[in-house]
Amino acid sequence: MLGSPEGPQSIEITVEPHAGIRRRCSRCRKPAPGYDCLPQRRWLFVPLWGIATYFCYAPRRVECGEHGIVVEHIPWSDGKRPVTCAMMGFLARWARRLSWRETAQTFQTSWEAVYRSVEWFVEWGLAHRQLRGVESIGVDEIHWGRGLKADNFLTVIYQIDAGCRRLLWVGRRRSQATLRRGLKALGPEVVKGLRFVCSDMWKPYLKVIAAEAGQALHVLDRFHITSHLNQAVDQVRRAESTRLGAESKKAAQRLKHMRWPLLRRGSRVRGRARQKLNALLVSKLATARAWDLKETFSHFWKYKSEMWAGGFLDYWCFRAMRSRLEPMKKVARMLRAHEPLILNWFRAKGEISNGAVEGLNNKIRVVTRRSYGFRTFDAMEIALYHNLGRLPEPESPHRFC
Ligand SMILES: [Zn+2]
């Protein structure tokens, strides 16, 4: 124990090799004759009583018939890492509950040590995960960081089967090449086995999905269509608010603080917001008409028959095109252009869960927000797999958390 009058600063546990146990090759784990002994090294272990703890050991080298002169197998160590596997697992598990910085502070180690531990944990998990039985995937883009450069977007592939929802892959940018890379990473067997693919109307994705997973039913996600409608309503509101503000303050007042009530589902707006919304709706404002179109569209999802739903879609687009509201017309044109893919939603009904992509997106946002400390894509990629990948975990003889 190394200490000072206030107490120990660290605990060092010296480990001696057991005379009765044969040394093994670290590559094949087979017993091998000894060669020489290397200088002593230290491995950080799980802190005991809040005191940093190290294993001290002088690794020996062996002469393996197959692998030549290599370091012996050390059960608590993996490669050249200065941290024991137990501690890496410990830090990685805590790094799901706390930010990496908080984890480092709580257990008196560095951010770098936490990063490397999570990296090790995730690499192990990715190497050992099973991709059998993936039938439905969701493909989406996520904005990351500041600005709208191509590098500020990520493409994510989720598994959205009822029994298993997880992040399968994440890659930089949102181009055709990105998605192709992602599907390649999943492997041809997974791609061939897909029955449903859920995505937004983002053109590069549509093309790649049609080319690579043509056998799967491609569905345009309800959540994405709803968010396009919401964005259109918001554009109408903002433009009108600016226009009215220039004319009279009183009229503009009506649109103030109405962003959220307008974007919520109509039935979920209550109380004072409801009163304001009602007052707005009886007005002849463009925002009211846009909101009405958006609300009407929600009936689309209630249809049971694809044919009737198609009829409704035509009717809605006709109304939207006559609304003289450019953002709504834009949505109508987009929906018309993708009608078959939107109607696929009714064929996939009951098979894929509605809202799975949205739920996973929200979770991603929690991670990327908590992790503003991640300056690099690599670190964030690891954090996303760690939190959303549902990866298998390396086993250890003892669990410390
Ligand atoms: Zn060997």
Run of H or E residues at 241: helix 222-247
Same domain, 276 and 333: yes
Of 67, 82, 97, which closes a domain?
A: 82
- CA nearest 207: which of 173, 180, 167? 180
* Residue-level pLDDT at 194: 93
* Residue-level pLDDT at 163: 83
365 pLDDT tier (thresholds 50, 70, 90): confident
Residue 314 domain-assigned (yes or no):
yes
Same domain, 48 and 21: yes
Give me ligand 1 centre to Cα 165, in Å. Answer: 39
Give me ligand 1 centre to Cα 22, in Å. Answer: 14
Same domain, 313 and 238: yes
Residue 106 domain-assigned (yes or no):
no
Task: Map tokens 């846009």 to a residue.
Answer: 290
Sheet of 34-37, strands arranged across:
34-37, 60-64, 68-71
Same domain, 338 and 231: yes
Q: How far apart are CA 172 and CA 121, in angstroms?
A: 22
Residue 92 domain-assigned (yes or no):
no
Its sign, for the CA torsion 53, 57, 63, 64, is: negative
Same domain, 190 and 227: no
- The pLDDT tens digits of the residues spanning 31-65 come to 999 999 999 999 999 998 888 899 999 999 999 99
Interacting residues of 345 by C-beta distance below 8 A, sequence separation 6+: 219, 220, 222, 301
Q: Which has the minimum average pLDDT: 208-212, 232-236, 395-399?
A: 395-399
Run of H or E residues at 41: strand 41-48
| Structure tokens given for 187 | 């492997």
Residue 87 domain-assigned (yes or no):
no
Identify the residue with better confidence: 260 or 58: 58
| Structure tokens given for 206 | 């549509």
- CA nearest 233: which of 262, 276, 273? 262
Same domain, 231 and 246: yes
Q: Which DSSP state fits 220? A: E
Same domain, 143 and 165: yes
Give me ligand 1 centre to Cα 21, in Å. Answer: 17
Same domain, 276 and 337: yes
Residue 153 domain-assigned (yes or no):
yes
Whether the CB-CB separation of 200 and 224 falls below 8 Å is answered with yes
Which residues lie near ion ligand 1 (Cβ < 5 Å)?
A: 25, 27-28, 64, 66-67
Sheet of 136-143, strands arranged across:
164-172, 153-161, 136-143, 196-199, 217-220
Percentage of residues of the chain with pLDDT beyond 70: 95
2 pLDDT tier (thresholds 50, 70, 90): low
Q: How far apart are CA 139 and CA 175, in angstroms?
A: 12
Is residue 257 pLDDT above 80, yes or no?
no
Give me ligand 1 centre to Cα 33, in Å. Answer: 11
Q: What is the pTM of this model?
A: 0.82
Is residue 259 pLDDT above 90, yes or no?
no
The phi and psi torsions of 148 (rounded to 5 degrees) equal -120, 30
* Residue-level pLDDT at 148: 79
- CA nearest 374: which of 101, 107, 182? 101
Is residue 11 pLDDT above 60, yes or no?
yes
* Residue-level pLDDT at 124: 95
Same domain, 266 and 206: no
Residue 193, domain extent = 136-221+355-388
Residue 105 domain-assigned (yes or no):
no
- CA nearest 214: which of 195, 199, 188? 195
- The pLDDT tens digits of the residues spanning 164-188 come to 899 999 999 999 999 999 999 999 9
Give me ligand 1 centre to Cα 319, in Å. Answer: 73
Residue 123 domain-assigned (yes or no):
no
Give me ligand 1 centre to Cα 31, in Å. Answer: 8
Is residue 6 pLDDT above 80, yes or no?
no
Q: How far apart are CA 158 and CA 161, in angstroms?
A: 9
Is residue 3 pLDDT above 70, yes or no?
no
Give me ligand 1 centre to Cα 192, in Å. Answer: 38
Give me ligand 1 centre to Cα 395, in Å. Answer: 23
Whether the CB-CB separation of 10 and 54 falls below 8 Å is answered with yes
The phi and psi torsions of 53 (rounded to 5 degrees) equal -125, 135
Domain count, the chain: 3
Give me ligand 1 centre to Cα 20, in Å. Answer: 20
Is residue 339 pLDDT above 70, yes or no?
yes
Same domain, 191 and 229: no
CATH number for the domain that contains residue 196: 3.30.420.10
- The pLDDT tens digits of the residues spanning 87-145 come to 999 999 999 988 888 999 999 899 999 999 999 999 999 999 999 889 999 999 888 77
Residue 294 domain-assigned (yes or no):
yes
Same domain, 239 and 268: yes
Same domain, 151 and 190: yes
